[in-house]
Amino acid sequence: MDRNTEELVYSEISTVFQPDVVKEVFKSKFSNPKNRVTEDSLELICEISKALAMEAALRSGKIAIKEKNSVVTLEHVESILPQLMLDFP
């Protein structure tokens, strides 16, 4: 898969994270309950999370295909984790 097909895949995925859900997670983690989050930034965080999930799926899928496997196992995901952790903040 080259760069263009990856971008195509990105636009194909219809599932998105719901801003309300992210807001709830954030609220539970805040040290100060008075902190708030704007709608815009929630949308942006949803986008980042989607990119993270997709990138994990894409990269591990690629490894599996390279090994001529049609099932992605835990080992495949584990092998892409270090680089993924470096790429995402």
- Least distance from C-beta 2 to other proteins, angstroms? 13
* 16 phi, psi to nearest 5 deg: -135, 160
CA angle in degrees (0–180, nearest 5) for 39-50-46:
10
Write b or e for each residue in 5-22: b if 16 or more Cβ atoms lie within 10 A of its Cβ, otherwise e.
eeeeeeeeeeeebebeeb
The answer to whether residue 83 forms part of the interface with other proteins (CB under 8 A) is no
- Which residues, numbered 25-44, are part of the site for other proteins (CB under 8 A)? 25-26, 28-32, 34-38, 40-41, 43-44
Structure tokens, 70: 């049609």
Residues that bind other proteins (CB under 8 A): 1, 9, 12-18, 21-22, 24-26, 28-32, 34-38, 40-41, 43-45, 47-54, 56-58, 60-62, 64-65, 69-74, 76-78, 81, 84, 87-89
